[in-house]
Structures are given as C-alpha cells and as structure tokens.
C-alpha cells in the first residue's frame, strides 16, 4: 500500500507543472492566440527561477522570478503577433528556439549546482496521517495552488463577466471589437497570464521537482501541455484530469523500474511522448468535435485597422 | 491603448522588402549580438570579429562553413517544401536522427575491403529511415487528423531516446571502454573528402544539387504547383481536384528523406561514428533557415551558410573569448525574431493614425 501512496504522490508532483502550464494555455487560447513558445518560456523561467533560489535562498522569490520571466516573454510574443501581426505559429517556434538558446546560455554556470534544502512540505497535521498523509497532504504548496488555480480559471471562464468577454474575443474578435472591447488589450492580458503560468511551471520543475538545472530539462513538457489542452477541449476540469493522467504516465516508468521490471530506461522514458501522440490521434479522429470546442478565431491574426 | 502609428495593409506585398527583410534581420542580429558582447564585458568589435570575420579568413574556415551548412541546407530545403504546402513539419531533428541510425547501421557493416558502392547504399537507407520516421507523422495526420506540429515534435524526443538506447546497447563499441557510442566507421564507409586538408565531404555538392532540384520541383513540376496551391489556397486546390493527401505525403516523405540523408552525411562524414549527440540541433535551426531563405530552395542555400556561420562563431567565441557556445542558440532565436518583425513590413506599412481612414 505504501507504493500506492507513493504512486499517487509522485503523480500529483509530476502532474503539477503540466497543470500549471496547461491552465495558462487554456486562458491564452480561449482569447484566440496560439503560443507555441511555451517550452521556451518554461526553460527560461526554469533557469531564472533556479538561479534566484540559488543566489537568494528564497523559493518564493524564485517562483516570482520564473512567473515574471514567463510573462515578459509572453509580452514579447504578444508585441510581435498582436502588434506586428506576425504569424503565430512561426513566432511561437521562434520563442521556443530563443528560449532554448537563452536558457542554455544563462544556465552554463549552474550545471551541477545544488540548492539549499527547503523546509518540510505539506499541510501540518494532515501530512502525518497514515497512507493518505503522504499520498495527498505532504506536497509542496504549489501543488495545491495549481489545483485551486484550476477552479479559479474554470470559474473565471464560465461564471464571470470577464471570462465571457475573453471567450467572445476568442470566438469572434470582429464582434468583440465592434462592441467596443479592446481585443488586443484582452489578448495581451491573456497571453501574460499564460506566460506567468508557464513560468511558474518552469520554476517548479527546476527548483522543486528535480531540483537541478540541466540544459533542455523541460524535455518537451511545454509541448505536452499544448497537446493536453487540445485533448481537454479547452476546459480546465479536463485539463486537471489530463495533467494528472500524464503525470501518472511519467511516473509509472519509475515505479516499474522500482519493481525490478527489466525495460531499458530510454524505452521507458519514451512513454510520455508516445502517450501524447496516441492521445492526439484518438482525440483528433473526429475533426468536427475538435472544431466545435476550439475557439473559432484561434491562430488567426486580427488587425483593427484592416 | 491608442498607438500613434497603425499598420495598414499594402495593396501588393512588397517584393524588394521580401528579400531585404532577411538582410535587415541579419544586420539587426549582429547589432544585438554586439550589444550582448558589451553586456558581458567583452569588446563588441572584437566579439563580432571572432564571430563573423575570423571564420571566413581562411580556406579551412570556408570549408568548415560549407560542412556545417550541409545538414542545415538539406533539412531546410525539405522544410521549405513542407511550409510552402502549409504542412508544419518541425521534427526534422528526429528525421535526421532516424536517418543517422539507418545509414550508420549500414556503415557499421563495412569492412576494410568493402567496395565504395556502400556509400550510395548508406545514403539510400538513410533516406528511407528519415522518410519512414516522417511517414509516422504523415500517417497520423492523414488517417487521424492529428496535429503534425505536435506529433513531429514528440517524435524528435522519441528518436533521441531511440538513438541513446541503441548506442548504449546493441550498437555500442565493445572496445569503447563503456562509452555510449558505436565503433568508428571503416574508412570505406566514410564519405569521401573533396578538398584535401579539410573535412569537407561530398555532402556539400549533394546538398547544393538537392536545393537546385527542389527549386525545379517547386517551379516547374505539377506536384510543385499543387503543393503551392494547397498552401496558399486550400479550397482552390480542392476545387481544382488536387489531392491534399498526396501533397501531405509528398512533402513529409521528401523532407524526411532529405533530413535522413543529412543525418547519415554527418555520421559518416565529420563525426565518423554514432554518438548520442549526433546533431547540435541542426533540424531545429533548419526551421529558421527555411524562413530566412524566404521559403525558397535557393534562398535556403544562402541562409544555411549564414546559420553555419553562427555555429562556427559560437565555437570560436567559446575557445577565444571564453563565452558559452550556447551563444549560438541565442543568436539563432534573435535572428528569427528580427526576421518576423521585418517581415511585417512586406505586407503592411506604418501610417500615422490620424491619416488612417476610419473603419466602416
């Protein structure tokens, strides 16, 4: 039973960066913008978050730095795609390539550096319960914050006026513009929120999850988060389910190894990527279903002067 | 948020700006690079000299430039066709690795007395390997409508892990002191060097010929016409009876094959064995090359030489100035950002807002 508790605990731990990044993507894509730069933003945030924790010893400052870096890069992406009307796919790829280069560059002196250990995680009292304690209540606070964020994003998108406007911008920017809403301003805000979430996810990876910096350590999680959002049809509740499912898939490999099942590590490490491909194939099989759920203006530029 | 300037669409995209834009982007990247050198406490002029001028000062430098440009050119030409057809294959890195595995496995069979006929066989198998890897993306897109961006990218990670598994296992050199790499290829299975005293192999003329051939396909052949129409106006292509599936398979298989050949040329050329890090991100850099080359096969030649310069400049900056070689990646990203920025003005011009007619 202990191993079951460990599986639950590691699943939540591995699912959290995916959940954080994917929630940010839901909000930005609901406003009609595709940002393929998530991976790059996570990498830069991971290296900055790690170095801030390394230099100041404060994890909170590290998360803040990660989120700020993500938001800043997302603003740069917004300046190009919303201000200069560049192609969103190409610009996102540019951001990912730039982020990979910049993070490798900034992180060169941080290779092999370890962080000062932080205090015990978890909810005092509850964490000491047998079985459910280590499984559910002994996590870093960001794990619970990410769960709460899923609720907040769901409430915002579907129960608040602001969310309604955001979705209107994503469905038909022309109509929203005609009603007097600042399409660009709303998209900028949505992008910045998405960037901050991706940054938080990156900082969590490098300071809590691993906690080490190594080049390219995000290892495609930004892309998996993008796939997750399609899989979850842009709904926060399903994103939560999908993120934990993928967290579980990532972790299953270690548990199989722990049980002495002899499969080469490299082949086991392929599972999250293969699972992403499999899920994408299954979910995309019905194009009508995707079209029904996808924000109608997703990826299309909008020029109020055209 | 009222900007004093507005972007107004031009009646016609500006042709001179189409070709000026990459030049401007390159200049801006170098300026930003000089600023970067300055911020790191280095003399910007000396930094740029190391990065841009020194690699081109010697014959050996030029040969290294052409050597590094070879895989970039091959991948970028394939991606050019994909992007023209609006097929977003961003997994050239994975297809390159698959080609290196396929071609390298054949090369490992060679002995000291193998005939040179093995060289075309190596390249053929590499092309099959790369095309096979891309075929997974094509099939999933064709059969299940799965997004080719995400699938081709996921397959990069899978290919990297596959290569790592092979060189840790069945392909590992038994006499290699446990290092995860294959044994060195026999000289009979190495691509012939075409310039004595350098590492430049037959791969460079192969890449040049490929670019020329791709230009012919794009400009003169029926499938080239079909893929351009499919990219520019999918509905017009459907109306004309062009098969979008045929275009999808054609561009993906072709770009996969070219990336695969690039991988084998690297493995049996300058590298000489299979190692886990066979490519320093050539497949990803080729995306930038394709855009900088204006999605034109001949433009890809010039753009791949520029990108190769960044690779060599990064290495020199490390050895001469003690800067991280990862500088190359920063420059690559900056180049694409600047290019996209400059490209805006091909289709739009800036106008003071008070002169913009009110929108109906």
- Name the average pLDDT for chain A: 91
State whether B330 and A102 contact (CB < 8 Å): yes
Q: Any idea which of A152-161, A162-171, A278-287 has the lowest mean pLDDT?
A: A278-287
The residue of chain B nearest to residue A271, with distances taken between CA atoms, is B158
* DSSP, res B53: I
> Is residue B155 less than 8 Å (CB to CB) from chain A?
yes
How far apart (Å, rounded) are the C-alpha atoms in residues B354 and B153? Answer: 45
Q: Do residues B74 and B285 make contact, with C-beta atoms less than 8 angstroms apart?
A: no
**B336–A97 CB contact, under 8 Å:** yes
Domains, chain A, ordered by start: 2-293 (1.10.3470)
Instruction: Provide the pLDDT for residue B321.
Output: 86
Chain pair A-B, CB pairs under 8 angstroms:
153
Task: Identify the residue whose tokens are 């001949």.
Answer: B298
**What is the Cα–Cα distance from A204 to A139, expressed in whole angstroms?**
12
Whether residue B324 and residue A105 make contact (CB cut-off 8 A), yes or no, is yes
In the structure encoding, which two tokens stand for residue B81, read together?
A: 């066709």
Q: Which residue of A has its CA nearest to B87?
A: A89
Check if CATH label 3.30.160 holds for domain B5-355.
no
Quote the pTM value. Answer: 0.93
CB B265 within 8 A of CB B99: no
Q: Which residue of B has its CA nearest to A186?
A: B1
Please name which of B64, B49, B77, B20 lies closest in space to residue B300, comparing C-alpha atoms: B77
> What's the token pair of residue A212?
């080490």
Interface test with B, best of A47, A305, A306 (most B CBs within 10 A): A305
Copy the structure tokens of residue A69. 């870096």
**Distance between CA atoms of B344 and B339, rounded to whole angstroms?**
9
User: Chain B partners of A76 at a C-beta cutoff of 8 Å?
Assistant: 337
At A60-69, the pLDDT tens digits run: 999 999 999 9
Interchain CB distance below 8 Å, A94 and B340: yes
Q: Which stretch of A10-24, A188-202, A279-293, B158-172 has the lowest confidence by average pLDDT?
A: A279-293
Tokens of B286: 């080729």
Check residue B360 and give its pLDDT: 42
pLDDT band of residue A301 (cuts 50, 70, 90) is confident
Nearest CA in chain B to A183: B1
Question: Chain A contact for B135, CB < 8 A?
Answer: no
Could you list the beta-strand ranges (E) of chain B. 5-9, 348-352
Of A87, A105, A215, the CB nearest to B330: A105
Are A251 and B114 within 8 A, CB to CB?
Answer: no
Cβ atoms within 10 A of the Cβ of A83, count? 15
Nearest-neighbour CA in chain A from B201: distance (Å): 29
CB contact under 8 A, A305 and B153: no
Please answer yes or no on whether A215 and B326 come within 8 Å at the CB atom: yes
Burial class (CB in 10 A: 0-12, 13-18, 19+), B301: buried
Whether A282 and B144 lie within 8 Å, measured CB to CB: yes
**Three-class secondary structure of residue B330 per DSSP:** helix
List the single residue in B with minimal CA-CA distance to A83.
B7
**Tens of pLDDT along B101-122?**
999 999 999 999 999 999 999 9
Residues B239-262: pLDDT tens digits?
Answer: 998 999 999 999 999 999 999 999
Among residues A190, A185, A91, the alpha carbon closest in space to that of B3 is found at A185
For every one of its 360 residues, what pLDDT tens digit does chain B have, with 9 covering 90 and above? 466 788 888 988 888 898 899 999 999 999 999 999 899 888 999 888 888 888 898 888 999 999 999 999 999 999 999 999 999 999 999 999 999 999 999 999 999 999 999 999 999 999 999 999 999 999 999 999 999 999 999 999 999 999 999 999 889 988 888 889 999 999 999 999 999 889 999 999 999 999 999 999 999 999 999 999 999 998 999 999 899 999 999 999 999 999 999 999 999 999 999 999 899 999 999 999 999 999 999 999 999 999 999 999 988 888 888 888 888 899 999 999 999 999 999 989 888 877 665 554
Tokens of B123: 């390249």
Using the Cβ of B31 and the Cβ atoms of chain A, whether some distance falls under 8 Å is answered with: no
pLDDT of residue B359: 52
Q: What angle do CA A35, A28, A45 make, to 5 degrees?
A: 60
A28-46 pLDDT per residue, tens: 999 999 999 999 999 999 9
Tell me what pLDDT residue A286 has.
81
Residue among A227, A270, A303 minimizing CB distance to B7: A303
| Dihedral angle sign, alpha carbons of residues A276, A279, A285, A291 | negative
Residues of B in contact with A287 (CB under 8 A): 145
Query: Burial level of A52, CB count in 10 A (0-12/13-18/19+)?
Result: buried
For chain A, give the number of residues.
306
What is the distance in angstroms between the Cα of A147 and the nearest Cα belonging to chain B?
Answer: 26
* Per-domain boundaries in chain B: 5-355
B211 near B73, Cβ under 8 Å? yes
Q: Which of A75, A87, A89, A90 to mutate to test the interface with B (most CBs of B within 10 A)?
A: A90
- DSSP, res B170: T
* Cα nearest neighbour of B281 on chain A: A97
Calculate how close chain A gets to B275, using CA atoms only, in Å. 15
Report pLDDT for B351: 84
d(CA A272, CA A266): 12
The CA distances from residue B210 to B85, B282, B301, in Å, are: 18, 17, 10
The answer to whether the CB of B331 falls within 8 A of the CB of B314 is: yes
């Amino acid at each position: 039973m202990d191993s079951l508790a460990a599986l639950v605990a590691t699943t939540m731990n591995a699912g959290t960066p995916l959940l954080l990044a994917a929630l940010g993507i839901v909000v930005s894509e609901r406003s009609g913008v595709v940002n393929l730069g998530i991976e790059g933003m996570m990498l830069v945030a991971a290296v900055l978050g790690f170095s801030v924790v390394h230099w100041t010893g404060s994890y909170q400052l590290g998360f803040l730095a990660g989120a700020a870096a993500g938001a800043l890069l997302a603003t740069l992406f917004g300046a190009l795609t919303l201000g200069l009307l560049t192609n969103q796919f190409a610009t996102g790829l540019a951001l990912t390539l730039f982020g990979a280069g910049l993070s490798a560059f900034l992180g060169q002196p941080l290779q092999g550096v370890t962080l000062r250990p932080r205090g015990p995680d978890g909810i005092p009292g509850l964490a000491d319960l047998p079985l459910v304690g280590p499984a559910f209540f002994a996590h870093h606070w960001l794990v619970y914050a990410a769960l709460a964020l899923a609720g907040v994003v769901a409430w915002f998108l579907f129960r608040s006026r602001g969310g309604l406007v955001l979705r209107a911008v994503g469905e038909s920017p022309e109509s929203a513009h005609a009603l007097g809403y600042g399409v660009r301003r709303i998209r900028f805000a949505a992008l910045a929120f998405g960037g901050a979430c991706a940054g938080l996810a990156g900082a969590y990876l490098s300071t809590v999850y691993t906690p080490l910096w190594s080049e390219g350590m995000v290892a495609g999680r930004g892309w998996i988060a993008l796939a997750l959002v399609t899989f979850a049809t842009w709904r926060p509740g399903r994103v939560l389910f999908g993120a934990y499912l993928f967290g579980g898939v990532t972790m299953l490999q270690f548990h199989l190894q722990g049980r002495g099942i002899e499969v080469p590590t490299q082949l086991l490490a392929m599972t999250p990527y293969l699972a992403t491909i499999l899920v994408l194939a299954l979910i995309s099989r019905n194009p009508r279903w995707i079209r029904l759920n996808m924000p109608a203006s997703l990826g299309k530029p909008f020029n109020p002067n055209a | 948020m009222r900007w004093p300037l507005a972007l107004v669409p031009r009646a016609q995209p500006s042709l001179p700006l189409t070709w000026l834009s990459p030049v401007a982007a390159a200049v801006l990247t170098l300026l930003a690079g000089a600023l970067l050198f300055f911020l790191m406490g280095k003399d910007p002029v000396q930094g740029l000299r190391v990065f841009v001028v020194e690699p081109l000062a010697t014959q050996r430098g030029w040969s290294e430039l052409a050597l590094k440009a070879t895989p970039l050119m091959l991948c970028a030409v394939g991606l050019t066709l994909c992007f023209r057809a609006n097929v977003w294959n961003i997994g050239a890195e994975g297809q390159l690795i698959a080609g290196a595995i396929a071609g390298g496995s054949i090369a490992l069979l060679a002995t000291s007395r193998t005939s040179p006929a093995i060289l075309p066989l190596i390249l053929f198998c590499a092309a099959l390997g790369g095309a096979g890897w891309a075929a997974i993306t094509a099939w999933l897109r064709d059969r299940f409508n799965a997004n080719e961006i995400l699938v081709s990218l996921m397959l990069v990670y899978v290919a990297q892990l596959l290569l790592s598994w092979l060189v840790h296992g069945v392909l590992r050199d038994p006499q290699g002191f446990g290092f995860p790499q294959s044994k060195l290829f026999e000289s009979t299975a190495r691509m012939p060097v075409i310039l004595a005293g350098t590492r430049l192999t037959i791969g460079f003329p192969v890449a040049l010929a490929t670019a020329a051939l791709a230009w012919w396909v794009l400009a003169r052949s029926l499938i080239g016409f079909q893929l351009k129409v499919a990219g520019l106006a999918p509905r017009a292509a459907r109306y004309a009876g062009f098969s979008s599936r045929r275009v999808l398979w054609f561009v993906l298989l072709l770009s996969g094959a070219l990336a695969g050949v690039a991988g084998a040329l690297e493995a049996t050329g300058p590298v000489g064995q299979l190692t886990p890090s066979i490519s320093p991100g050539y497949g990803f850099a080729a995306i930038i090359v394709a855009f900088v080359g204006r999605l034109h096969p001949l433009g890809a030649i010039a753009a791949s030489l520029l990108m190769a310069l960044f690779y060599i400049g990064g290495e020199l900056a490390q050895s001469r100035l003690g800067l991280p070689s990862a500088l190359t990646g920063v420059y690559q990203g900056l180049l694409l950002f600047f290019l996209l920025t400059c490209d805006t003005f091909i289709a739009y011009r800036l106008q003071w807002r008070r002169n913009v007619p009110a929108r109906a």
